[in-house]
C-alpha cells in the first residue's frame, strides 16, 4: 500500500491497530520525508532517528501483545524546541542554548512517551519564541510548504510546517501571543491554545510565564482533540495547572453540529489592514455556521484595541525576568572567559553574542518597563488593560457560547518582508493576543484558500475550561470544507522530493 503520510493521525492509528502498517514502517516513512524535505524547509533542528525507531519497535511489540497504551500509540510526533527532552538538545532556536541537552523531560513530553507516541525530533522556532515568522531563529528560517518563499508563521513555524509538509502527523507547540494559532492559519493546519493551566508548562522553557500555554498542532480537528487529551490535565509540578479533568474533546470534535450554538463575531477584528481574501473566507465561514443552525450576532470588545500595546509591555517584562537566568554561569553559552575578565564582563559578552537582535530588543523594552520609576507607568498600566480585556470577554460570553474572528489579518507574507519593520511583524498577532491576556481557550481552523492559493484560518474563542466548544465548531467547519472540495491539504501540490502522495 502507499505509505499514508498524508492521512490524518487518527487514521494512521487505525492502520496501526489493524496491522495494515507497523509503527516502524510508519516512522521510517516520516524519517524519509524529513530527509527529503528538511534541507528545503528547515523544519527540524534535531532528528532522533535511532530513538524514534526504537520507540516504534516497542510500540509494535505492545500492539502484538494487545496492550497499546493509547489510541495514538505508535503515531509519530514532532516537538517544538522549547520543550525539555532527555537525550535531545533543547535550544529554543538560540545560540544561548546551542547543544544543551536537558536532564529531564517536560511533563507534556513525558505524557506523550507514556501514551506510546514516537518522538521524531525537535522543530525550529523563533528565538525563545520571540517572533511571528520563524525568521529570528539562530539556525535559519523555516519555509512554508505551501510556498517556500513565504513564512510559516511564528514562533512555532517549525511545528506547523512539519505537519503541513507531512514530515509529521502531529506536533507540539506553545502559544504566548499566537505562536500556535498564527502558524496554523498560514500553513492550513489546526492549532489550538488550550485554557491557561489546562496543559502543563513544566519543562517548557519560559518566555512569559503568565501567557505561555502548550498546545497541539495537527492536520485535522479530531487529531488535535486526541493529542490535547493525551497531553493535557492537572500536573502537580506546575503551580498554575488547573486541578480538574479536561472536557470530552474528541467527542466534541466528532459532533459536526453547531445547531443552537450562539456565535459572536468580534467587531474589532476586521476592516482596515485586513486582506480582502482573509475577510472573504471569514465571511463565508460565518455563513456556514449560520446555515448550520448557529445563532450569529455581532459583539463589541472595545478594550481589544489596546491589547497589542499591553501585551508588548507585559510579555517583554516577564521575558526580561525569565531570561535573566542565562548568565553564562549555570548552563548554556559562555564567552569571553579568557581568565582575565570578571564575571560581569563574561556575562555581558555572552549575552551580547548569544542573543539575537529581536531578543535584545524585547529584553531592553522589558527591563525598562520594570525599572524604578517606570514600573507603574508602563507595566502596571498594561496589567490594568489586561483586566479590561478579560472583562470584555466575560461580557461577551454572557451573550455568546463562542467568539469568532480571522486568526491573522493576512495570509503568509514573504520571507524578509517584515524583518525591518517590527510593528508590521507584531500586528500578525493582532487577533490572537487577547486570548493570551485573558487565559481563555482559542484555536485556528482552516477555512479555505486565498486567490493566490494560500491558506486562511478562522479563530474560535471559548470561555476558560470550555475547550470542547472549540472542537465542536472546528469539527463542523472541517466537515463543511471537505464537502466543498476535500481536505485543505489535498488542494496543495507535493513539494519536489516529497515522499507524500496527495
Task: Confirm whether 389 is domain-assigned.
Answer: no
> Average pLDDT, whole number, for the chain?
95
Q: How many domains does the chain have?
A: 1
The mean pLDDT of 164-186, rounded to a whole number, is 98
From 132, 174, 179, 435, active-site residue: 179
pLDDT in tens, 292-337: 999 999 999 999 999 999 999 999 999 999 999 998 888 888 988 8
Task: Confirm whether 382 is domain-assigned.
Answer: no
Q: Whole-angstrom Cα distance, residue 49 to residue 53?
A: 6
The mean pLDDT of 76-85, rounded to a whole number, is 98
From 22, 94, 137, 155, active-site residue: 155
Q: What angle do CA 184, 190, 193 make, to 5 degrees?
A: 80
Task: Confirm whether 305 is domain-assigned.
Answer: no
Higher pLDDT, 2 or 494: 494
Q: Is-cis flag, bond preceding 444, omega within 30?
A: no
Task: Confirm whether 175 is domain-assigned.
Answer: yes
pLDDT of residue 497: 87
pLDDT of residue 1: 43
Task: Confirm whether 447 is domain-assigned.
Answer: yes
Residue 492: pLDDT above 80? no
pLDDT of residue 491: 61
pLDDT in tens, 421-463: 999 999 999 999 999 999 999 999 999 999 999 999 999 999 9
Q: Whole-angstrom Cα distance, residue 123 to residue 74?
A: 19
Domain boundaries, position 190:
4-254+435-452+463-491
Q: Which residue(s) pair with 442 in the sheet?
A: 193, 461
Task: Confirm whether 341 is domain-assigned.
Answer: no
Task: Confirm whether 310 is domain-assigned.
Answer: no
Residue 502: pLDDT above 80? no
pLDDT of residue 3: 62
Segment 372-379 long-range contacts (CB within 8 Å, at least 24 positions apart) = 378/313, 379/313, 379/314, 379/317
Share of the chain above pLDDT 90, in %: 89
Confidence of residue 487 (pLDDT cuts 50, 70, 90): low
From 22, 59, 80, 174, active-site residue: 80
CATH of the domain at 160: 3.90.1300.10
pLDDT of residue 139: 98
pLDDT of residue 298: 97
In the residue annotation, 179 being an active-site residue is answered as yes
Residue 2: pLDDT above 60? no
pTM across the whole model: 0.96
Residue 494: pLDDT above 80? no
pLDDT of residue 170: 98
In the residue annotation, 80 being an active-site residue is answered as yes
Task: Confirm whether 368 is domain-assigned.
Answer: no
Which runs of consecutive H residues, i.e. helices, occur in 292-440? Answer: 307-322, 343-354, 357-370, 381-399, 422-426, 433-438
Amino acid at each position: 500500500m502507499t505509505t499514508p503520510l498524508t492521512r490524518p493521525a487518527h487514521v494512521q492509528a487505525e492502520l496501526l491497530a489493524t496491522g495494515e502498517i507497523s509503527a516502524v514502517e510508519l516512522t521510517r516513512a516520516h524519517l524519509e520525508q524529513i530527509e527529503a524535505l528538511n534541507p528545503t524547509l528547515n523544519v527540524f533542528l534535531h532528528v532522533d532517528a535511532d530513538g524514534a525507531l526504537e520507540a516504534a519497535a516497542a510500540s509494535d511489540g505492545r500492539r502484538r501483545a494487545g496492550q497499546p497504551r493509547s489510541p495514538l500509540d505508535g503515531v509519530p510526533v514532532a516537538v517544538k524546541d522549547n520543550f525539555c527532552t532527555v537525550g535531545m538538545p533543547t535550544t529554543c532556536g538560540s545560540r544561548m542554548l546551542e547543544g544543551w541537552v536537558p536532564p529531564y523531560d517536560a511533563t507534556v513530553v513525558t505524557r506523550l512517551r507514556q501514551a506510546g507516541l514516537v518522538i521524531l525530533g525537535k522543530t525550529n522556532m523563533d528565538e525563545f519564541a520571540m517572533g511571528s515568522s520563524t525568521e529570528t531563529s539562530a539556525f535559519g528560517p523555516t519555509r512554508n510548504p505551501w510556498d517556500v518563499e513565504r513564512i510559516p508563521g511564528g514562533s512555532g513555524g517549525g511545528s506547523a510546517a512539519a505537519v503541513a509538509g507531512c514530515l509529521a502527523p502531529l506536533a507540539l507547540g506553545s502559544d504566548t501571543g499566537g505562536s500556535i494559532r498564527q502558524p496554523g492559519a498560514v500553513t492550513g493546519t489546526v492549532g489550538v491554545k488550550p485554557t491557561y493551566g489546562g496543559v502543563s508548562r513544566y519543562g517548557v522553557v519560559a518566555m512569559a510565564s503568565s501567557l505561555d500555554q502548550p498546545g497541539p498542532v495537527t492536520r485535522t480537528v479530531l487529531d488535535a482533540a486526541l493529542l490535547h487529551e493525551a497531553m493535557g490535565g492537572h500536573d502537580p509540578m506546575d503551580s498554575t495547572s488547573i486541578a480538574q479533568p479536561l472536557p470530552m474533546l474528541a467527542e466534541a470534535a466528532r459532533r459536526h453540529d453547531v445547531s443552537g450554538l450562539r456565535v459572536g463575531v468580534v467587531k474589532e477584528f476586521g476592516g482596515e489592514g485586513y486582506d480582502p481574501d482573509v475577510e472573504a473566507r471569514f465571511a463565508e465561514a460565518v455563513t456556514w455556521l449560520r446555515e448550520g443552525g448557529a445563532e450569529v450576532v455581532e459583539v463589541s470588545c472595545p478594550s481589544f484595541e489596546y491589547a497589542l500595546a499591553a501585551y508588548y509591555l507585559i510579555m517583554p517584562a516577564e521575558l526580561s525576568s525569565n531570561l535573566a537566568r542565562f548568565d553564562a554561569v549555570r548552563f548554556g553559552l559562555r564567552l569571553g572567559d579568557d581568565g582575565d575578565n570578571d564575571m560581569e564582563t563574561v556575562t555581558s559578552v555572552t549575552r551580547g553574542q548569544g542573543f539575537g537582535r529581536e531578543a535584545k530588543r524585547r529584553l531592553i523594552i522589558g527591563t525598562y518597563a520594570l525599572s524604578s520609576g517606570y514600573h507603574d507607568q508602563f507595566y502596571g498600566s498594561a496589567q490594568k488593560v489586561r483586566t479590561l480585556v478579560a472583562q470584555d470577554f466575560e461580557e461577551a460570553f454572557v451573550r455568546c457560547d463562542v467568539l469568532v474572528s480571522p486568526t491573522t489579518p493576512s495570509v503568509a507574507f514573504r520571507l524578509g518582508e517584515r524583518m525591518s519593520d517590527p510593528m508590521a511583524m507584531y500586528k500578525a498577532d493582532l487577533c490572537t493576543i487577547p486570548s493570551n491576556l485573558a487565559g481563555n481557550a482559542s484555536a485556528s481552523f482552516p477555512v479555505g484558500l486565498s486567490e493566490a492559493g494560500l491558506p486562511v484560518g478562522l479563530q474560535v474563542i471559548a470561555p476558560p475550561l470550555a475547550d470542547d466548544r472549540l472542537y465542536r465548531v472546528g469539527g463542523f467547519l472541517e466537515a463543511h470544507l471537505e464537502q466543498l472540495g476535500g481536505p485543505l491539504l489535498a488542494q496543495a501540490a507535493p513539494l519536489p522530493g516529497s515522499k507524500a502522495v496527495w
